[in-house]
């Protein structure tokens, strides 16, 4: 009988309960091929060439290192090894202040982006994004559209120093939310606005920015076809947000998944698809930010869709804002949609309309108006500062082909990878005795789920 020896038992119990995993999901495009990346910090006396702190591939395109639980706060950076000259830099290629994390007594996985290397010219950019903005993926797959898209994520300043769970804002036109260097004509400054509000005592929120598809933008931001401009892919795009992206975010970050803690926000055509998305998925997104909406693109179809929906819209809360002279019909179109929503179950007190004489169809206007919209949308939401509790999970080897689990809150799906990153199969673990029925050659394998990663030897 072949024997599988799992490096779990007590070691795994401890690692699940108390460890910090640093996970680099993106590195500069001009990083030399075959580069090793090392962790340097207060835990290893800032030794730039300490091979014990070499990050390892996780089989999923990222590099990770797991640090046993300790106490206090750890300062750190990443280098390409050998000397301090290869240290990481900021978004412009210059000096990056030390990163840090704090041990909490609970497991943490911290997703990180290396923005540049100080010694490689051109690896940075003129980015204006704050340090707590990351590229979640440069090519996140959209199965409903068979396309890939860049996804941004903003994490509150205290995300890595607390175990709080956060509301989430899903925002369209991601390339214009945080970074001047990627925007079409200026950025919204979402990161600066939320960081300022947080410093003033605001609880904080996660923001997920979805890049528009360039030439696909009009098609994706309307479920209905305008004969002069296109459209028609909007329903598939919203199914991507609701059925693929949101579940991924909820599984990998400390979110509050219930509808009352989730917003969908956009401007212009992005406001059209956000309004449609809230009516389609009121069970997922209850807060809607509608900035300078292009309802003109499909007014009859949108109004008919709202009038004929069987979904319960009573929990929606919508903030409408536009400039008085942005277009001839914008204000009247916006008021019509608001009235139809109220007629179909939305409480009038849960809608707010602001029309500004000086409002223009531009990011600078939306940047100005965003903080008030965000605060109004969430002003009645009870966000306790209580930290989340993490259950004690224990996994023990029973014999050569069985493991015993306890403390699982649900069935735990785990994938098995070789050390070369090849997926060998999957298992579903439940509380109690679990049979291991994979056919594997002798060697070292990685057992990975969204809740932990460990090794086993066969």
Please indicate, yes or no, whether residues 80 and 146 belong to a single structural domain of this protein.
no
Of 274, 284, 151, the closest CA to residue 213 belongs to: 151
72 neighbors 103 (Cβ within 8 angstroms):
yes
Residue 128 inside a domain? The answer is no
Q: How far apart are CA 338 and CA 227, in angstroms?
A: 25
Of 248, 237, 252, the closest CA to residue 173 belongs to: 237
Q: Is the pLDDT of residue 458 over 80?
A: no
Total domains present in the chain? 3
Q: Is the pLDDT of residue 2 over 80?
A: no
Domain boundary among 352, 377, 402: 377
Confidence of residue 389 (pLDDT cuts 50, 70, 90): very low
Domain boundary among 321, 343, 377: 377
Percent of the chain at pLDDT exceeding 90: 57
Q: What is the CA radius of gyration of the chain?
A: 24
Q: What is the pLDDT of residues 325-372, one digit of tens each?
A: 999 999 999 999 999 999 999 999 999 999 999 999 999 999 999 999
Confidence of residue 183 (pLDDT cuts 50, 70, 90): confident
CA 399 vs. chain centroid, Å, equals: 39
Q: How far apart are CA 378 and CA 290, in angstroms?
A: 15
Question: Would you call 56 helix, strand, or coil by DSSP?
Answer: strand
Burial of 292 (0-12, 13-18, 19+ CB in 10 A): buried
Q: What is the pLDDT of residues 273-328, one digit of tens each?
A: 999 999 999 999 999 999 999 999 999 999 999 999 999 999 999 999 999 999 99
Please indicate, yes or no, whether residues 211 and 350 belong to a single structural domain of this protein.
yes
- Do strands 108-113 and 19-26 pair parallel, antiparallel, or not at all (unpaired)? parallel
Please indicate, yes or no, whether residues 252 and 343 belong to a single structural domain of this protein.
yes
Please indicate, yes or no, whether residues 111 and 183 belong to a single structural domain of this protein.
no
Q: Is the pLDDT of residue 380 over 90?
A: no
Confidence of residue 61 (pLDDT cuts 50, 70, 90): confident
Q: What is the pLDDT of residues 17-58, one digit of tens each?
A: 578 999 998 888 778 878 899 999 999 888 887 888 999 987
Unique residue bearing structure tokens 């702190």: 53
Please indicate, yes or no, whether residues 408 and 269 belong to a single structural domain of this protein.
no
pLDDT given for residue 292 in this prediction: 97
Please indicate, yes or no, whether residues 322 and 204 belong to a single structural domain of this protein.
yes
333 neighbors 341 (Cβ within 8 angstroms):
no
Residue 125 inside a domain? The answer is no
pLDDT given for residue 419 in this prediction: 54
Please indicate, yes or no, whether residues 202 and 314 belong to a single structural domain of this protein.
yes
pLDDT given for residue 388 in this prediction: 43
Residue 14 inside a domain? The answer is no
Q: Is the pLDDT of residue 10 over 80?
A: no
Please indicate, yes or no, whether residues 267 and 416 belong to a single structural domain of this protein.
no
Top mean-pLDDT range of 4-13, 252-261, 427-436: 252-261
Q: What is the pLDDT of residues 94-103, one digit of tens each?
A: 788 889 999 9
Q: Tell me, what CATH number does 362's domain have?
A: 3.40.50.1820
Q: Is the pLDDT of residue 15 over 50?
A: no
Long-range contacts of 200-203 (CB under 8 A, 24+ apart): 202/375, 203/164, 203/166, 203/167, 203/383, 203/385
Mean pLDDT of 129-140: 87
Q: How far apart are CA 261 and CA 268, in angstroms?
A: 23
Output the DSSP codes for 225-276: EETTTEE--HHHHHHHIIIIIHHHHHHHS-B--SGGGEEEEEETHHHHHHHH
CA 62 vs. chain centroid, Å, equals: 16
Q: Tell me, what CATH number does 440's domain have?
A: 2.60.40
Residue 29 inside a domain? The answer is yes
Confidence of residue 421 (pLDDT cuts 50, 70, 90): low
Please indicate, yes or no, whether residues 169 and 206 belong to a single structural domain of this protein.
yes
150 neighbors 211 (Cβ within 8 angstroms):
yes
Domain boundary among 58, 85, 117: 117
Q: What is the pLDDT of residues 62-80, one digit of tens each?
A: 899 999 988 999 999 999 9
Residue 1 inside a domain? The answer is no
Confidence of residue 449 (pLDDT cuts 50, 70, 90): low
Please indicate, yes or no, whether residues 108 and 56 belong to a single structural domain of this protein.
yes
Q: Is the pLDDT of residue 407 over 90?
A: no
The lowest-confidence range among 158-167, 217-226, 257-266, 385-394 is 385-394
Q: Is the pLDDT of residue 448 over 90?
A: no
Q: How far apart are CA 178 and CA 193, in angstroms?
A: 10
Q: Tell me, what CATH number does 109's domain have?
A: 2.60.40.10
Residue 385 inside a domain? The answer is no
| Bridge partners for 148 per DSSP | 141
Q: Which residue range is the domain that position 428 belongs to?
A: 394-457
Confidence of residue 206 (pLDDT cuts 50, 70, 90): very high
Of 155, 169, 154, the closest CA to residue 286 belongs to: 169
Please indicate, yes or no, whether residues 251 and 363 belong to a single structural domain of this protein.
yes
- Say which residue, 267 or 81, is predicted with more confidence: 267
Kindly provide the b/e burial profile for residues 24-38, where b requires at least 16 CB atoms within 10 angstroms of the residue's own CB.
Answer: bbbbbeeeeeeeebb
Please indicate, yes or no, whether residues 141 and 227 belong to a single structural domain of this protein.
yes
Of 385, 390, 304, 320, the closest CA to residue 355 belongs to: 320
Q: Is the pLDDT of residue 241 over 90?
A: yes
Mean pLDDT (the chain) is 86
Q: How far apart are CA 275 and CA 258, in angstroms?
A: 18
Give CA separation, 295 vs 22, 46, 176, 336, in Å: 44, 56, 21, 10
DSSP 8-state secondary structure symbol assigned to residue 325: T
Confidence of residue 445 (pLDDT cuts 50, 70, 90): low
**What pTM was estimated for this model as a whole?**
0.64
322 neighbors 293 (Cβ within 8 angstroms):
yes
Residue 126 inside a domain? The answer is no
Residue 7 inside a domain? The answer is no
């Amino acid at each position: 009988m072949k024997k599988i020896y799992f490096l779990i038992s007590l070691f795994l119990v401890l690692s699940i309960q108390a460890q910090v995993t640093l996970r680099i999901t993106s590195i500069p495009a001009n990083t030399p091929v075959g580069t090793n990346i090392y962790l340097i910090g207060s835990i290893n006396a800032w030794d730039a060439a300490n091979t014990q702190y070499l990050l390892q591939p996780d089989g999923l395109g990222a590099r990770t290192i797991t640090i046993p639980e300790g106490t206090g706060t750890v300062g750190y950076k990443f280098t390409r090894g050998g000397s301090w000259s290869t240290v990481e830099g900021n978004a412009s290629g210059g000096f990056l202040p030390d990163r840090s994390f704090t041990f909490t007594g609970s497991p943490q996985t911290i997703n990180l982006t290396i923005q540049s290397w100080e010694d490689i010219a051109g690896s940075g950019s003129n980015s204006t994004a704050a340090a707590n903005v990351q590229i979640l993926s440069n090519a996140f797959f959209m199965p409903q559209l068979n396309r890939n898209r860049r996804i941004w994520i903003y994490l509150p300043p205290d995300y890595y120093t607390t175990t709080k769970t956060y509301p989430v804002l899903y925002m369209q036109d991601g390339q214009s939310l945080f970074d001047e260097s990627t925007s079409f004509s200026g950025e919204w400054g979402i990161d600066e606005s939320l960081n300022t509000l947080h410093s003033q005592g605001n609880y904080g929120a996660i923001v997920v920015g979805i890049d528009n598809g360039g030439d696909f933008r009009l098609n994706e931001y309307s479920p209905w076809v305008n004969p002069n401009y296109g459209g028609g892919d909007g329903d598939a795009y919203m199914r991507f947000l609701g059925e693929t992206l949101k579940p991924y975010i909820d599984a990998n970050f400390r979110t509050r998944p219930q509808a009352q803690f989730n917003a969908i926000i956009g401007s212009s055509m992005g406001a059209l698809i956000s309004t449609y998305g809230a009516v389609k998925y009121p069970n997922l997104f209850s807060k809607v930010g509608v900035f300078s909406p292009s309802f003109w693109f499909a007014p009859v179809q949108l109004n008919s869709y709202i009038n004929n929906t069987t979904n319960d819209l009573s929990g929606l809360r919508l903030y409408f804002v536009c400039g008085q002279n942005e277009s001839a019909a914008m204000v009247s179109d916006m008021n019509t949609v608001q009235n139809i929503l109220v007629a179909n179950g939305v409480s009038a007190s849960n809608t707010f309309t602001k029309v500004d004489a000086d409002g223009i169809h531009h990011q600078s206007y939306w940047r100005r108006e965003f903080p008030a919209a965000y605060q109004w949308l969430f002003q009645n939401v009870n966000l306790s500062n209580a930290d989340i509790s993490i259950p004690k999970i224990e996994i023990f080897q029973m014999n050569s082909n069985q493991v015993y689990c306890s403390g699982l809150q649900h069935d735990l799906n785990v994938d098995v990878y070789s050390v070369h990153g090849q997926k060998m199969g999957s298992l579903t673990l439940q509380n109690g005795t679990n049979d291991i029925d994979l056919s594997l050659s002798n060697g070292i394998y990685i057992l990975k789920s969204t809740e932990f990663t460990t090794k086993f030897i066969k």
